[in-house]
């Protein structure tokens, strides 16, 4: 089959599947909690959810599945730099596939043909109000996956001080002006020394966690350092989430309680703080198991696109294995429900959101350093820039 024929077949199949999927779902896409529509990260059309590890529309979902299953060798007739949107997404299949891969879509998460046929059969029978056969047994964890989950949860328990009983020798909390007639701007960094000590304490636990995680010690020292520096903030946020109360929007860390005002008095701005609070509320409402928190941290840790990483292929494979283990854990350990059905996708969405916050955090941190470099040596080392 020629490349032109391949493109035509892909487009015809896409039109057929879009009509079928729209009929099955009622033509409605998933919305955020605030009612705003979700957008396909590949073409900008209205998204229907997470497909193969990325938020996409039905069209890009079907296109990616077909392109991966057929192992097509597509080529761009232009300069491999076509802008993909919902109006022209069929004009260049090569750049569209590249965009799908760039946003994180993974071939390994594509369902088999048999599983797809079963799903469509169930949908049609349900629409026809005919009896729906029992679903196949939930995916069970392999022996290796069970061992992985056990090791990660034990690493989490050993390295996370839930009650912060060992958080000592910290600089005092200062939430008010001292003396009272000092200029108002002086409140901007009152909490910086204490927050710096708190985050330093958390990062020490994260480093110990990574050292216990399977596969981490097998990497070269340069990659270990690059991964830790890249994920430090994200793992801090995930760990702090387990002590976050979304009703009061506070973190209860042993004898201390913190809120976003404390972070503002450490120098952070609302451009970072508002998404941070929104993220914590979203993640906390998922009611994750300790095993899911641990797997989420491990997936974030093994991100091959961190600055300074060398062994991209090996790290990427580890992350894919962890993601599949998380999916299997959810399917086998949680009772069937609408919430558990979409839990994996929501966790992956949270990880994507973390990357965005990480970028903004880095910008604000550099600005704080320029004005008030009151950080511990460990924070300076962890959050210093790595060469791209």
Each residue's pLDDT tens digit, 92-119: 889 999 999 989 888 877 876 656 665 5
Is residue 9 over pLDDT 90? no
Contact in structure between 321 and 295 (CB atoms under 8 Å): no
Mean pLDDT of 22-37: 46
Distances from the Cα of 236 to the Cα of 170, 209, 373, 386, angstroms? 18, 12, 20, 19
Each residue's pLDDT tens digit, 375-386: 788 888 888 754
How far apart (Å, rounded) are the C-alpha atoms in residues 6 and 70? 10
How is the chain split into domains, by residue range? Answer: 3-127, 143-383
Contact in structure between 303 and 319 (CB atoms under 8 Å): yes
- pTM over the 0.95 mark: no
* Architecture field, domain 3-127: 2-Layer Sandwich (3.30)
Give the helix/strand (H/E) hosting 54: strand 54-56
Label residues 223-252 b or e (16+ Cβ within 10 Å = b). bbbbbbbbbbbbbbbbbbbebbeeeeebbe
Contact in structure between 306 and 227 (CB atoms under 8 Å): yes
Each residue's pLDDT tens digit, 294-346: 999 999 999 999 999 999 999 999 999 999 999 999 999 988 776 777 899 99
Specify the CATH number of the domain 143-383: 1.10.565.10
What's the pLDDT at 33? Answer: 47
């Amino acid at each position: 089959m020629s490349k032109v024929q391949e493109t035509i077949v892909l487009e015809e199949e896409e039109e057929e599947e879009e009509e079928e999927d729209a009929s099955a779902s009622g033509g409605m896409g998933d919305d955020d909690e605030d009612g705003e529509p979700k957008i396909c990260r590949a073409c900008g059309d209205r998204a229907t959810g997470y497909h193969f590890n990325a938020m996409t529309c039905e069209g890009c979902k079907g296109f990616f599945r077909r392109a991966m299953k057929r192992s097509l060798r597509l080529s761009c007739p232009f300069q491999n730099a076509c802008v993909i949107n919902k109006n022209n997404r069929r004009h260049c299949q090569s750049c569209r596939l590249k965009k799908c891969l760039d946003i994180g879509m993974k071939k390994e998460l594509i369902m088999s043909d048999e599983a797809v046929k079963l799903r469509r059969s169930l949908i049609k029978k349900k629409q026809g109000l005919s009896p729906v056969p029992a679903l196949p047994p939930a995916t069970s964890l392999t022996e290796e996956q069970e061992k992985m989950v056990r090791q990660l949860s034990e690493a989490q328990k050993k390295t996370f001080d839930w009650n912060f009983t060992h958080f000592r020798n910290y600089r005092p909390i200062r939430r008010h002006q001292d003396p009272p007639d000092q200029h108002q701007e002086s409140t901007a960094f009152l909490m910086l020394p204490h927050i710096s000590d708190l985050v330093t304490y958390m990062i020490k636990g994260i480093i110990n966690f990574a050292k216990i995680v399977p596969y981490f010690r097998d990497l070269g020292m340069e990659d270990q350092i690059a991964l830790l520096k890249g994920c430090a903030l994200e793992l801090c946020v995930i760990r702090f989430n387990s002590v976050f109360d979304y009703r009061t929007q506070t973190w209860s860390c042993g004898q201390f309680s913190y809120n976003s005002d404390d972070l503002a008095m450490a120098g952070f701005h609302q451009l970072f703080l508002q998404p941070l609070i929104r993220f914590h509320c979203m993640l906390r409402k998922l009611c994750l198991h300790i095993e899911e928190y641990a797997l989420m941290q491990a997936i974030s840790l093994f991100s091959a696109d961190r600055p300074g990483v060398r062994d991209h292929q090996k790290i990427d494979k580890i992350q894919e294995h962890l993601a599949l283990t998380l999916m299997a854990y959810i399917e086998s350990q949680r009772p069937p429900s609408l919430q558990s059905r979409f839990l994996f996708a929501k966790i992956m969405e949270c990880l994507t959101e973390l990357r965005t916050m990480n970028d903004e955090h880095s910008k604000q941190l550099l600005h704080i350093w320029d004005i008030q470099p009151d950080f511990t040596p460990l924070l300076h080392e962890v959050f210093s820039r790595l060469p791209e």
